[in-house]
Amino acid sequence: MSRDVIMPALGMAQKTGLIVRWLKQAGDPVKAGDVLMEVETDKAMMEVEADADGTLTDVSAAAGEEVPVGEVIARIADGSVAAAAPAARAPATPPAVKSPPAERTQTSTPARTPAVAAAPAPSPSPSPSKNGRIFASPRARRLAAEQGLDLAKLAEAGRPQPYLVQHLEELRALAPEPAGGATFAATAPSASPLRLTATLAKDGLAEFCAWRRAETGAPTEEIAVMAGMAAAAFRPSASNAELVVAAYAFGAARSFVNADRSGLGSAKAVDTPANPELVLRDLRGAAVTDLSLGAEAAPTLSVMRRGVETFITLECAPAQLRPEAAIELISEFAGRLAEPLRHLL
């Protein structure tokens, strides 16, 4: 039986030890406690003792070698043993390439992602538009993007930065008015607008309103009901808790707040504000059978008559609605318009 002589770990962070000199040679008898070799670590010089009686054999590291801790570098055999050729040991690799012993737990620190957004510290600059950099609050930036507004226009107009939500009104007012007396601004978006259409064999609106008038005795206007349906369909994409739908019928504008929260058809009309979240145009009384007006300040649903069919378009800027949200909006709206009662239940 022989015992291993290992390069000991002598400090917490120590990975290798340098053999300074051997005090015993292969074949020497040793007793427990005899100093076998001197080892240098980054902290100090240490003597390594034999931990048993026997004969030193199989010395496989020489003075001057750097050995990883834990590695066997000699043996102590009990009883006499012929001096055997030392087992070939892999030559020491330079310390820099040492990997820690397998059993040491690797602490894995979560990857520290560097700051993703390139955000240099803002340097005070007299006219920010020269740098091209626009300072705006995160909320203002998000709402501007959703509404297809370009904050740079505010900079061009000379409004000092940073821009906040309250400045978006001003921004909207900067955009040219579209023809037709619409009461809200239209901006030309830089990317192609989204246009989706839906066709219904028939819509259940008139029938529903008649039923409701009979059931509740309350006046029921088709535009109010339609606004409720539009609001309900748009709700998942709404960013404001107070969802305003601006509705146009027969050339007159009426707006409804949270039309999907009151009973269908009972939403009260309010004055049309400067920035409705959704626009609804009921053009069934008009001769229009198709339109492609491009994106406006808010996503716009238009409802037209084509013979007995009802034709719906949804137009918006890509920044206002993701494609999936646009599809959901028009599908939900169309579904409710087709079968109002079914959606009530």
Partner 1 sequence: MSSMIDTKRATEAAWETPNSDEYLRMYRQMARIRAFEDNANQLYLSAKMPGLTHMSSGQEAVAVGVCSALENDDKITSTHRGHGHCLAKGAEIKLMFCELLGKVDGYCRGKGGSMHIADQAHGNLGANAIVGAGAGIATGAAFSAKRLGTKAVAVCFFGDGALGQGLVYEVMNMAALWKLPVIYACENNLYGEYTKVDEMAAGPITARAEAFGIEAHVVDGQDVLAVNRITRQLVDRARRGEGPFFLQLNTYRFHGHHVGDINRDYYRTKEEETFWKTERDPILLFGHWLVAEKIVGLEQLQAIEAEVKVETEEAVAYAQAAPYPPLEEVTMHVFVEKAA
Partner 2 sequence: MAMREITLAKAVSEAIAEEMRRDPTVFVMGEDVAEAGHPFKTLAGLVQEFGVERIVDTPISEPGFMGIAVGAAMTGSRPIVDLMFGDFLFLAMDQLCNQAAKTHYMSGGKLKAPLVLHTNLGATRRSAAQHSQSLHALVAHIPGVKVALPSSAYEAKGLLKTAIRDDNPVVIFHDKLMYQDKSQIPEEEYLIPFGVANVVRQGSDITIVATSSMVQVARQAAETLNREGISAEVIDPRTIVPLDEETILASVRKTGRAIIVDEGHQSFGVTAEIASRINEKAFYYLDAPVRRVGAMDVPVPFSPPLEDLTVPTPKVVAEFARLMMKGEPFHVA
Which of partner 2, partner 1, none lies near 160, with the C-beta cut-off 5 to 8 A by kind?
Answer: partner 2
Annotate 36-92 with DSSP letters as a single string.
EEEEE-SS-EEEEE-SS-EEEE-----TT-EEETT-EEEEEESS----PPPPP-PPP
Stretch near partner 1 under the rule CB under 8 A, chosen from 9-17, 113-121, 155-163, 252-260: 9-17
Q: Which CB, 24 or 281, lies closer to partner 1?
A: 24
Strands 300-306 and 278-282: what pairing? parallel
Binding to partner 1 by residue 20, rule CB under 8 A?
no
Binding to partner 2 by residue 165, rule CB under 8 A?
yes
Q: Measuring CA to CA, which residue among 151, 153, 129 is closest to residue 140? A: 151
| Sheet bearing 54-57, strands edge to edge | 2-6, 72-77, 54-57, 29-30
Binding to partner 2 by residue 322, rule CB under 8 A?
no
**By CB under 8 A, what part of segment 35-94 binds partner 1?**
44, 46-48, 69-70
Amino acid at 150: D
Stretch near partner 2 under the rule CB under 8 A, chosen from 28-36, 130-138, 209-217, 323-331: 130-138
Strands 244-249 and 278-282: what pairing? parallel
Kindly report the CA angle at 117 between 113 and 123, in degrees rounded to 5? 125
* Residues in Cβ contact with 118 at an 8 Å cutoff, skipping those fewer than 6 apart: none
Which of partner 2, partner 1, none lies near 201, with the C-beta cut-off 5 to 8 A by kind?
Answer: none
Cα→Cα distances 257→134, 261, 269, Å: 33, 9, 8
Q: Which CB, 11 or 27, lies closer to partner 1?
A: 11
Q: Which CB, 107 or 123, lies closer to partner 1?
A: 107
x/- letters, 236..275, toward partner 2 (CB under 8 A): -----x----------------------------------
Q: Which one among 2, 8, 221, 327 touches partner 1, defined by CB under 8 A?
A: 8
Which of partner 1, partner 2, none lies near 8, with the C-beta cut-off 5 to 8 A by kind?
Answer: partner 1
Minimum Å distance from CB 239 to partner 2?
Answer: 9
Minimum Å distance from CB 157 to partner 2?
Answer: 16
Query: What is the C-alpha end-to-end distance of the chain, expressed in Å?
Result: 86
CA 330 to chain centre: 26
Q: What are the residues binding partner 2 (CB under 8 A)? A: 122, 124, 128, 135, 137-142, 160-162, 164-167, 241
Q: What are the residues binding partner 1 (CB under 8 A)? A: 6, 8-12, 44, 46-48, 69-70, 101, 103-105
